[in-house]
Structure 1
Amino acid sequence: MKYIKLLFIVLTGLFLVACDDGPKGSFGFTLPDGNAEYGQQYFVEFRCVDCHTVVGLEDELVAPFGIDPIMNVPLGGATHRIETYGELVTSIINPSHKVSSQYKMTPDTGDGQSVMRNYNSIMTVDELIDIVAFVQDQYTLKPYPPTTYKIY
């Protein structure tokens, strides 16, 4: 019983810390809806296809332009957890914020920072939200298969 109370206290504390509504919290932050069709155009125009492939659109985005990808970081496809709008925006405006462990072996700047180019002074906010709309549309939620238990 003592361990259950301790676990409850720890989890409650973590929950409260995670709900940061201070000056650097994301509460109240939202951007307008983007246009996925424009986002696809910007995705190619800003040469995101140099390092990213979009599941199911590889030929459509890369082949017509004769682009030889530098890296292959896939985006989209079936997943158990879809990235939130805020996570996708953050991935573009601050790519070193979180580098996926599966890409730790890909090229980096030598200090663990992402080699993704910083587009903050190049890309407009409209272009950003359109690219996010395009990328987010590429994910489909794959439900977890139910667990089957053997009768014993």
Structure 2
Amino acid sequence: MLYPNLAAASRALSAQWRWPHFSVRELSCRCGDRFCSGQYWHDPDFLDALEDMRARVDRPLVLTSGHRCAGWNAAVGGAPLSRHKQIAADIQIAGHSREALLDAAVGAGFTGLGLGRSFLHVDRRARPARWYYPGSERLWIQ
């Protein structure tokens, strides 16, 4: 479900929020007021998978990108059909083993896996896909 802004999402979800390691703010669009006011796409299954992934690595996950409004997605060079326009997350690699982070994502049920130099993209698409971002392939190959 899409909430038009951070304030609306926070009000609507505060009583039912059950994901202690993540917040509406960190998963909302980060464009500021350039295009939206913090749009948020709520998907409990996605959040359950993030919590599962965090438990599997037993360390905090730093999300560098969550939902993106169409304007922000275009501004940051996101693909026109980016899963971030609904719900996806880019997770910072620093402080993690690439292999452990990827294994945790797969174990938690993420099916869209983008392997970047400094981040791992995760989403829950119907048809599994795995790709490398430019310049990252040698970092991920064991």
Give the shorter-chain TM-score range.
under 0.3
When normalised by structure 2's length, the TM-score is 0.27
The structure carrying a bigger helix percent of its residues is 1
When normalised by structure 1's length, the TM-score is 0.26
The structure carrying a bigger strand percent of its residues is 2
Which of structures 1 and 2 has the bigger CA Rg? Answer: 1
